[in-house]
Amino acid sequence: MTKNTGFICDESYFWHDTGNGALFMLPGGWIESDGHAENPATKRRFKNLMERSGLMKHLTQIAPRSATVEDIELFHGRDYINKVKELSDIGHGDAGELALVGKGSYEIALLSAGGAITAVEDVVSGKVDNAYALTRPPGHHAEENLGMGFCLFNNVAIAAKYARKHLGVEKVLVLDWDVHHGNGTESAFYDDPNVLFVSLHQDRNFPPERGMVEDIGTGKGEGYNINIPLPAGTGNAGYMYALKEIVGPIADQFKPDLVLISAGQDAGLFDPLARMMVTAEGFRQMAQFMLDLAEKHCGGKFVACHEGGYSTAYVPFCSHAIVEAMSGVTTEVEDPFAQAMHTIPTDELFDIQKEYVDKVKEIQSKYWNFQSVTL
C-alpha cells in the first residue's frame, strides 16, 4: 500500500558551512584538509538519487518554515541561542564541542529545526501520512546550552516538545538509530515519562561517556530512557534483534501518539566515523518495523529527521531505502555495494550482539514486560 509521504528539504540546508577539515578535525599541523565529514554531499546525493530513481515524484513536497526563537527555547537557553547567532554573524566559530558555525548558519539552523516542526505539524494534522525531513545541520547531540558533534539546535527534541505543547500530542516515542548516542535528546527528556527515548548506538563511540545501559532516566522519567549500546560490527540482524526484543514490547506498553526517528545513517556499511556494517536493506527493515509500530499505535504518525551519515557513496542508498519503505513505492534502485560485499555477515546474529541486547532487557525488565506480544 502506498502512502502520502511528505518530503521536506531546502537548498539552504546545503549551504551550512562547516569549513575545511579531515573527518571531524580542523586542518593544520599534520592534518591535511580533504573536506569536513559533516558536509552537504551525503544529503545532496541522497536527494539526487531520489530524483534520478523517480521516487521523488511520488512524494509530497513540503516547504519548511523557520523556527522562531520561542520554538528553539522549548529546549535551548536564550544565552546559547544568542551565542550561535553571534558566531554566525561573525562568520566562524564553535558553538561548543565540534559544533562549527559558518556565515548564516544561525538562520539555516532555525530553518532546520523548523523543518522538523513542519514535518510533525503536517503528519499530526493528517496533511500527509508520514514525512522525511532532510534537515541540516543535524541536532541530536545539541544540549540545552552547548552545541556538540556537528549539531547546533536539537531538531527532534524541539519538534517533540512542540508537538506536546501545541499539537495536543500526549506521548511521543523517539527512536534514535544514529550510530552515535543521542545525548542531547536524552537530556531533553531524562525526567519526562511522556517521551520515551530509545537510542541504538555503537558502544562508547561518541560521546564516549554517554549512552550507557544503566542510564535509565530520573524521577518520573525513570524507565523511559532506554540505551541500547551495540558492539562494533553489529549488522542488520543485531539491530533487528534489538528492535524486536526491546523496542517492540516497550512500544506496545507505552502506546505512543507519534513516532519520531533521529535518522542517522552512519551505522552504514562504509561510514568513516563508525564500524557497524548495516546495509541499505537493514535500514529498510528498521524503518518498516517502526512504521508498523506507528501504524499499530498511532495511525501511522511517523516522522524521520535526518541526522548523521558520512559516506557520500553509501548514505544515499540507505536513506533511499528508508523513504521507499515510508512511501510504499519500490523503484529500480538496487544496492550495488551490498552486492559487492555479500560475504560480510551482516544478517547473522552473533552471541556478543545478543548479549548486549539481553543485558538491556535485564535492566529494563524492572519497568517493562518483555513477554508482551509484538507485531
Which sequence positions are flagged as catalytic?
A: 141
Distance of alpha carbon 140 from alpha carbon 212, whole angstroms:
16
Residue 137 preceded by cis peptide, ω within 30: yes
Helix boundaries (H) for 197-312: 236-242, 248-254, 280-298
Cell 542517522 appears where?
A: 264
Burial of 52 (0-12, 13-18, 19+ CB in 10 A): middle
What the block records as the C-alpha cell of 352 is 556478543
Question: What is the rounded end-to-end Cα distance, in angstroms, of the chain?
Answer: 18
Residue 28 belongs to what H/E stretch? none
Q: Sign of torsion, CA 265 270 272 273?
A: positive
- Residue ranges with strand state E in 119-255: 130-133, 147-148, 172-176, 195-202, 225-230
What the block records as the C-alpha cell of 43 is 544529503
Q: How many C-beta neighbours within 10 Å does residue 341 have?
A: 14
Strands 92-94 and 100-102: antiparallel
Q: Hey, what amino acid is at 250?
A: I
Q: How many C-beta neighbours within 10 Å does residue 85 have?
A: 17
Cell 560490527 appears where?
A: 233
Distance of alpha carbon 342 from alpha carbon 272, whole angstroms:
20
What the block records as the C-alpha cell of 138 is 543535524
What the block records as the C-alpha cell of 252 is 506496545
Residue 285 belongs to what H/E stretch? helix 280-298
Q: Which residues contact 121 (CB under 8 A, 6 or more apart)?
A: 127, 167
What the block records as the C-alpha cell of 214 is 544503566
Hey, which residues does 132 pair with through a beta bridge? 7, 304
